[in-house]
């Protein structure tokens, strides 16, 4: 009976560790594949909008949004 409890405890620790590693890998892939391209696109749009005088406030907002996406 004690062996079963020890095996279940070890399986619990192993599954918990694998779950944490999977979560970290998902977070890294999400940042690289979604957040970073969106931030680059928003920064590029901010540069384009800041070239024109009338759209300068929108360009500043694009830069703020790009910064918030990365954080």
pLDDT band at 65 (very low <50, low <70, confident <90, very high): very high
Q: Which helix (H) or strand (E) holds 25?
A: helix 2-30
pTM attached to this predicted model: 0.72
Task: State the pLDDT at residue 27.
Answer: 93
Residue 19: other Cβ atoms inside 10 A: 10
Length of the chain: 71
Residue 69 makes CB contacts below 8 A (sequence gap 6+) with 35, 38, 39, 42
Q: For 1-58, what is each residue's pLDDT tens digit?
A: 888 888 888 989 999 998 999 999 999 999 999 999 999 999 999 999 999 888 999 9
Task: State the pLDDT at residue 42.
Answer: 95
Task: State the pLDDT at residue 59.
Answer: 92
Cβ contact 50:56 at 8 Å? yes
């Amino acid at each position: 009976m004690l062996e079963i409890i020890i095996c279940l405890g070890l399986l619990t620790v192993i599954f918990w560790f694998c779950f944490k590693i999977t979560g970290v890998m998902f977070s890294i892939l999400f940042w690289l594949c979604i957040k970073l391209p969106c931030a680059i696109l928003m920064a590029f749009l901010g540069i384009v909008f800041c070239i024109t005088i009338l759209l300068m406030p929108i360009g500043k907002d694009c830069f703020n949004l790009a910064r918030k996406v990365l954080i």
